[in-house]
Structure 1
């Protein structure tokens, strides 16, 4: 009775502590969780000790009953017969029975001793490995598990006593309900799979998920400890959760019917319930939910059998899944073949040529790619129409979908530099969707040719917006050219007003023997050729003082900027053949600079920019030859 009471008391204490332990949150400190685990293990050990002692006592009592009653009776009869001096016949008749009884008694004692030794051995084995003492016909594993059950008002955890048979893959779950009178129905389930639950995906500890044939979806179970969960998973052939991308097969990442269905469903879901969400397509969803959605949609058994309109999938998960699918296609939507041509078209400064070239290249795409691109751009146009609510303009969409729809075949530094032009291509497609997809261009055999550059290249950021150009001053020889052009009724580039022509560098006339050329200073006042360091200093001074209305020389005489510029142009050496400056300098046209641009400091051995032409000074300037020699004389030699 004492050991029975002790067993019941220890059992009640252990299960109450186990219930409190399982309700601990995984967000508590690790030291508190470890202390709780040690306390539970200690109580479990005490409970096992009490249960084994109780079972051992019951076994001892049951076995001792077999001889503790019979032996006194036999002694009493023997004494009685001896005492009464029964007759010899009666004694002889009782002697065989007595011998047989003694033999049986000895066998019973021997059996008791052997059984006690086996029980001692079983006690030791039970303490070392509780599940190694299973007899044939018993379940592979059994014990208590908690099951997560979802209700209308929340989630509850119900305690079950579970028995699993590995060969038949059958799981029997018997509910343990503490309420009297409640119905306890046993569940018989057939196991399909078992996966360990990720630690960060649930608040409870020691959880794992199973799938059964009888129930749809997964069933979340909670074991009593980490070791207990490991034993259950080993018995059920459990697997670790998937942390990498689920889509690895090449055929799953093609523009096939399932892919089009997935894109259309995502677009429909976004336009139905999330088109006004702030930062749509910019905010990223949970990676776990994205992989779960892609696994469910691209399941080979039932592809496309996912309802994106349900509340299980939020907008961030849907948009991230759509971007993941487009980004992981074996070939981007706008193909590797046309990538270089699209980037070159986006780099053009001529907006009309840029639009026409992209228009022509869109219709060079394969039919499936063009259909997918039209579907996506139409959707992005609809999203950008609600930019006041979602704050997603065409430029923002270009930043997001540029690398997604266009990507280089190899990740190089040049490909990284071209990302901004990929964004521009998508931005153009969104802003000019109506024109591009109204029909193919008139001539799709070749993209439009950009017009030849007549005016000087103006350095400006590549953008889509058409803003009026600001007036920019022209320095160096441009002042003389502009003044001469105004007098002669010509354009700054040297051509007539009828048709602009690029500048041609005129050849200098041969020097006349014994005389100076008209319009040029005398030979003794003409500056001598200078070295490269002197020319670099000369260019620096011209750039620093080119924007001032008047320049004062070293001797204090003020000269006009036009005459000084013309004189300094004559000092520059002839350009070296085959060497051009930056892009746009080979045509001999100087680049105008805006008021806000910082002048570029030219240092040796970099040569100053070449003059646009060496034509004679206009006639009106030749009427004042007295200023020309003075200019050369007044120029300090240190310049």
Structure 2
């Protein structure tokens, strides 16, 4: 090995020395020879050109000079030949000898390598076998690893790495400096049980840890508002044992969501009134109604057919300018309902929505929001409308008037949806988050947005009924609503909308005439299967229906004024027995035997089943002949 390292000294240096000393000297001799040859040839030509007419002395002198130059030329020629001969002879040993020395060292190395190879032959054989076995194992497990990789790609959540930490990964932590702030990369871990967050600075350039570890106890975690920081995917962490707020930046939106779920993070609290430059100036007063009426008048007269109405927003600066003009007490008058034509329709619609957002509270009020959402989640459409109808009339008078004004306008907009493309559903999407603005922007509030839209859709579609009629009073806690009052302006109720009322008449001919009704055909089997239980329960002072969750109030008939004061006994509208339902107190013992008969109890139960079936939208079936009288003027309740 050392011979190879000294190859330059053994081979290159002698050859370089031979080239410089010997071959270089031969080159110098050749140059000298060429120079003398040229000189000799020149003197010889000059001598031959001498004229024979010159003096003898001159000719002899020229001959002697030529002889002198010739002699010197011969000497230089001999020296050159001698040097060439010397180089040729030296080349045979001074050039070959270093090559031989190098080859000798190389052969020595090979021989030494052979000896080492012979000594390590057994180890080489064992290593070869190990390599072959490793290759075979690799080929055998490669397919298994590929299959596992495919499974992990298809279901990454099922193959998570088992870790003692609830969440871990890289986060950028905002650190305050003397001049501004900087974001430092940390490797963070979090344990939900102990609420401990560990932050280890990580320097990518140095390839590892770049500072001391820091561990804090989590107090709260809140998503950072986008408009309060330039960075994306940020959230704030408050620690028990460290003052101030720690602002962290995740690697992506999904990564931030996972960190916030692990830390039980919450959404920030938005208060648009505080963020608004016009805090406290938007009110439901005469100016507020004037602004909304002006905007509605401008939209209905100039742009109700404009596509994307209320969906396309105007330029914010122009919207604010228009609002400042409309909200100026000096220029805002109730008599002036015109907005200058220079303002675009999208600017006017944006001003209307912005004014509604600037109110101290949403138009449908914070305290009723959960009730509106629950009403929108009811499965039955009639129940939704009825519940929202009741809630609207619980709003303050000004809120209800403003909502009435707005819904009438939106109904007109929806009537022109073929031109403006704004259907009831689209208007619900636009106005739902505005009229039912949540007090806090939580995840639950975001999930309720679709139900907010449903509430607005119901208000638009049923605005005449909701705002022009008095809501029906609830009959019980189980949301079984029976009508007590009919509006004289409304249409006659249909069979499925009128409340259930039963009469007992003593006229046999009336019994025969009023047998036919639209009742579920399966009711007969239900009545027969429950008759025995009602027979036993009917002997008790308290009726069996009072023990269940389904309760009904005693309903007094609201007879039309057109009915005669003393109807005939045979009139179907003048029952000889009072109406009955499941009472809230024991039936009086002085009642007629028909009141306490098993048929009456079974009938009550049957009618309740029919009422419930109609309210939840069960299909209608052929009539069932019942063994008890009923009044055809009143049938099934509209809501449950």
Q: Structure 1 length as normaliser, TM-score?
A: 0.32
* Relative contact order higher in (CA < 8 Å, ≥ 6 apart): 2
Q: Give 1 or 2 for the bigger CA radius of gyration.
A: 2
